[in-house]
Amino acid sequence: MSEYVIGILAAFAEPVFHAWANILDNYLSNKLFDRLTPLIFFSSVIGLIVLPFIWFLDPPHAVSVMNAAILIVISLIEILYLYPYFWSLRRADTSVVASLFSLGKIFVPLIAFFLVGERLTGLQYLGFFIITAASVLLALDVRKMKLNSAIVLMLLVSIVLAAQTVLLKYVYEHGVGWGTSIVWMTILQVVIAGVFMLTPQNIAEAKKSWSKMKSLGTLLVGIELLSTAGTLGSSYALYLIPVSVAQGIAGTQPIFALLYAILFVRLSPKFFKEYLGKKDIAKKVVLFVITIVGAVLVAGA
Which of 224, 245, 260 lies closest to 297 in space, CA to CA?
245
* Dist CA 83 CA 185 (whole Å): 18
According to the model, what pLDDT value does residue 145 have?
42
- Specify the pTM: 0.78
Largest CA distance in the chain: 55
What is the H or E stretch that residue 141 is in? strand 140-141
What confidence tens digit (pLDDT) does each residue in 41-67 have?
887 887 888 888 888 888 899 999 999
Angle between helices 278-299 and 122-139 (to 10 degrees): 160
**Residue 32 domain boundaries:** 3-299
Domain count, the chain: 1
* Dist CA 109 CA 129 (whole Å): 11
What confidence tens digit (pLDDT) does each residue in 166-216 have?
999 999 999 899 999 999 999 999 999 999 999 888 888 777 766 666 666
Kindly report the number of other CB atoms within 10 A of residue 277's CB atom. 8
Half-sphere exposure of 24 (CA within 13 A, CB side): 19
What confidence tens digit (pLDDT) does each residue in 223-256 have?
677 778 888 888 899 888 888 888 778 877 777 7
What confidence tens digit (pLDDT) does each residue in 77-89 have?
999 988 887 777 7
Which of 31, 27, 57, 87 lies closest to 182 in space, CA to CA?
57
CB-based contacts of 16: which residues, under 8 Å, 6+ apart?
Answer: 230, 256
